[in-house]
Chains A and B, each alone.
Chain A
């Protein structure tokens, strides 16, 4: 037996100790002593120590064992005839004052065991090192800033997919923290990645990762099936780098210098990428989906909201505002044939709204439609025709863009043109019910649910 997938590891932060047990088997029905700064039991090898009973059962001296000890991780750090490592307590005997561990930890004659039972770890770097099997979770408490000078990089298991989760929390493992309730990893001005994910299926949730200058990649998530959610990354050259099979959703990237998010076809869903002098999202290699993203104020003469080189992308339901150059820029000749661009708002960009740079195709592409355009400096379209259901506005559709409120206003030829006019409205040969999708990220709340005449015109097309 080894430590099971049901072990939850704990990074306590300030006051924690990287020598602590730092873990608990969540299905063991004992008391979790890892969610505290100091160890529940500190074995000094002299006054509190262990001696041999069997290879798996340790006689405890200087501490009275209890049934509630079960499930906690014991970190054995030394002693005569002990094997250093992490073990979990599967049974206790209050009569003989023993703990039985999940596997052998000592041999005949063992004495003077040192180590720690309970208590959270100090650093995330140690936290990722104690992972031992797929499925384990590492909880990181919002308890002081985690300053690092080297990238945090998890180990890879050779025989199984990793399936590890690194989860920030504030007060309870069961509550998803938002905003500054999430723990912060600060890389200062070090030229490093924040997190470097390795192996398959590593999840990162609920963290803030910052750099002040010179940082490389906030999260290098190019490994297979990585998932990033509820994370804010700021100040790196590249905020998040995701691979073909990766996911980034419900996250924020800002203040980067090369690109907000780079992707080779991964899923980018519901992210806010904003306020930096570089492209917001850059996609290459594979046609990936970019959906429900808010991309704002990516300034600079060569900065696009979404930039696709070598392939297109499937861009659905995004709002792209204030880019230095184009809202969406595709530089490959055939990108128009391998993309879908629908339900997006492209407004107030310094170049085009939609720019296919390399060929004057001037097609009306069925999957480039239902988009809203407003005040793009060079025009709404370049080398592609307008979609039949597009909305070209003459008034800003947003309530307060300078205050980051990109919800739809009710202005005529502004936000009103985007309400209930998104795709789909109805399906062929299914005239009812009628869908009322808005164009862009934010959909309006309307409990009276009127359908404007504009929508009826669309449906009759």
Chain B
């Protein structure tokens, strides 16, 4: 599953720079592994490279 790292402030309370986001499975939102109650829309993560950087 792809992982993204937060590199900018997305304006979502609880999400911090350096957090790792992972999609638990295909076609579901990304989960913040550092704050696992937070889920973020897939296209929001994948289409904002200034905020989220693909790490794996």
Contacts and interface: CB of A to CB of B under 8 A. Distances in A.
Interface of A: 4, 6, 25, 27-30, 53-54, 56-57, 67-68, 70-71, 89-96, 98, 100
A94 B39 CA distance: 8
Nearest to B37: A95
A92 B11 contact: no
Measured as residues with beta carbon below 8 angstroms from the partner, the interface class of chain B is 20 to 34
A96 B12 CA distance: 12
B43 A28 contact: yes
A70 B13 contact: no
A56 B15 CA distance: 14
Chain A interface main SS type = loop
Interface of B: 10-15, 23, 27-29, 31, 35, 37-44
A54 B37 CA distance: 18
8 contacts: A29-B28, A30-B28, A57-B11, A67-B28, A91-B38, A95-B35, A95-B37, A100-B13
A27 B15 CA distance: 21
A92 B35 contact: no
Contacts of A27: 42-43
Contacts of A100: 11-13
Given A71-B41, A94-B39, A28 B29 contact: yes
B1 to A, nearest CB: 12
Contacts of A68: 28
Contacts of A91: 10, 12, 15, 29, 38-41, 44
B27 A57 contact: no
A94 B32 CA distance: 12
Contact of A28 (B11, B15, B31, B41): B41
Contact of B11 (A56, A93, A96, A98): A56
Contacts of B10: 91
Interface centre among A54, A89, A93, A94 (most CB of B within 10 A): A93
Given A71-B41, A95-B14, A95-B35, 19 more contacts: A4-B43, A25-B41, A25-B43, A28-B41, A28-B44, A29-B43, A54-B11, A56-B11, A57-B12, A57-B13, A67-B28, A90-B12, A90-B44, A91-B38, A91-B39, A95-B38, A96-B13, A96-B37, A100-B11
Task: Give the 7 A-B residue pairs with the shortest CB-CB distance, closest first.
Answer: A95-B37, A29-B42, A67-B39, A28-B41, A27-B43, A91-B40, A94-B37
A29 B38 contact: no
Nearest to A101: B11
A98 B38 CA distance: 9
A10 to B, nearest CB: 18
A155 to B, nearest CB: 25
B41 A29 contact: yes
A28 B23 CA distance: 12
Contacts of A56: 11-12
B54 to A, nearest CB: 16
Contacts of B41: 25, 28-30, 70-71, 89-91
A71 B29 CA distance: 9
A30 B44 CA distance: 12
A174 to B, nearest CB: 15
A53 B13 contact: yes
A56 B40 CA distance: 14
Contacts of B35: 93, 95
A96 B42 contact: no
A421 to B, nearest CB: 53
B44 to A, nearest CB: 5
Contacts of B29: 28-30, 67, 70-71, 91-92
A29 B47 CA distance: 13
Contacts of A71: 29, 41
